Amino acid sequence: MAAYSAEVFVVLKPLVNDPEGLVIRDALRTIGFNEVRAVRSGKYLTIELDADDQDEAEERLTEMCDKLLANPVIEEYRFTVHGVAVKA
Amino acid sequence: MASFGIVVFPGTWSDRDCYFAVHDRLRQEARFIWHKERDLSGLDCVILPGGFSYGDYLRSGAIARMSPVMEEVSEFAERGGYVIGICNGFQVLCESHLLPGALMRNSSLEFRCQQQWLRVETSDTAFTSETAKGRLLRLPVSHGEGNYYADPDTLADLESGNRVVFRYATADGDISDEANPNGSLHNIAGIVNETGNVLGMMPHPERASESLLGSDDGLAIFQSIIKNSERVVAHG
């Protein structure tokens, strides 16, 4: 077993309306950031986990996303994971 | 006589109102079921009430779905038992895949707490048999995430299968954007599953259970369940 650290991003699918993102976009324009074309909002999670190797860590994270962290009806996800040294 | 089980998650807040509607107003058997319990024996109908189960953490209904009781509710539904999810209960049913689609943040980004007209789209369900197609019901809504979404294929299935049970309407019965409190596709306020024994709806029939509360239109939904439960027993 080794220690891994993951960053998970969950966002609404491109075709799903994101009213929160629209309001943030409008607010940015209101305060002068007229160059903003689009904003999508989402969730960011960090997960510390143990796994035998990188492949297993990725496999388990995929399961976590499919089963709980994202709702496949409206959301999609991506993550990065890397090994970390654990302090003794 | 029908027997109702009212599921209580941490953060559920409409459980007592549901109990009042079915027990005090309609004189039926009712008991509370803590989310860690698994015993649904003797029940005709499980109610998943409104509230903020688990504080709506992650997504509304997402954590409640993992509760021990939900495994039993899924099996209960598979056996044909009646399940009604109201507000947060509707969200839990979608997260549990007992109903298709998802309930997203209201398009206004505002929590909506108001009286609402609903048009009954079909009386051909166990939940609306004591109403009539086209009848208007006045029920309160109280939610921040009631914006029904489903992909186009799922929506088409719901419509062609006559599974949209309630739509948000104007006082005249028109289905319009103006009548829609949350941005739901097709003004959908309530749907049933394919076998017709699981209903999810955002408005609160239990909070419209006597005229003192402004409306008793919600009773017809519970009366339908009671009627149909008795029918099942009679045939069983």
Would you write out chain B's pLDDT as a tens digit for each of its 236 residues?
999 999 999 999 999 999 999 999 999 999 999 999 999 999 999 999 999 999 999 999 999 999 999 999 999 999 999 999 999 999 999 999 999 999 999 999 899 999 999 999 999 999 999 999 999 999 999 999 999 999 999 999 999 999 999 999 999 999 999 999 999 999 999 999 999 999 999 999 999 999 998 999 999 999 999 999 988 765 54
Residue type, B81: G
For residue B219, the surrounding DSSP H or E stretch is helix B219-235
Which tokens in the block code for residue B229? 């439960």
Whole-angstrom Cα distance, residue B13 to residue B25?
A: 19
Question: Is residue A88 predicted with pLDDT exceeding 70?
Answer: no
Query: Do B97 and B85 contact (CB within 8 A), yes or no?
Result: no
| DSSP state string for B78-93 | HTT-EEEEETHHHHHH
Question: Is residue A18 predicted with pLDDT exceeding 80?
Answer: yes
Residue type, B101: G
Pseudo-torsion of CA B113, B118, B121, B122, nearest 10°?
90
What's residue A83's pLDDT? 94
Give the residue among B226, B6, B59 at the shortest CA–CA distance from A69. Answer: B59
Query: Do A37 and A20 contact (CB within 8 A), yes or no?
Result: no
Which tokens in the block code for residue B149? 């979404």
* Residue whose tokens read 């040294």: A85
Go through chain B and tell me how many residues it has: 236
For residue B72, the surrounding DSSP H or E stretch is helix B68-78
Closest-CA residue of B relative to A42 is: B58
Residue type, B49: P
Query: Do B54 and B63 contact (CB within 8 A), yes or no?
Result: yes
Contacting residues of A for B104, CB less than 8 Å apart: 16-17, 74
What's residue B236's pLDDT? 44
Asked if B95 has any chain A CB less than 8 Å from its own CB, the reply is yes
Asked if B59 has any chain A CB less than 8 Å from its own CB, the reply is yes
Is there a contact between B151 and A73 if contact means CB atoms under 8 Å apart?
yes
ipTM: 0.81
Query: Do B21 and B218 contact (CB within 8 A), yes or no?
Result: yes
Give the residue among B216, B210, B201 at the shortest CA–CA distance from B130. Answer: B216
Contacting residues of B for A43, CB less than 8 Å apart: 58
DSSP category for residue B223: H
What's residue B233's pLDDT? 63
What pLDDT band is residue A85 in, cutting at 50, 70 and 90? confident
Render the burial of B196-218: b for 16+ CB within 10 Å, e for the rest: bbbbbbbbbbbbbbeeeeebbbb
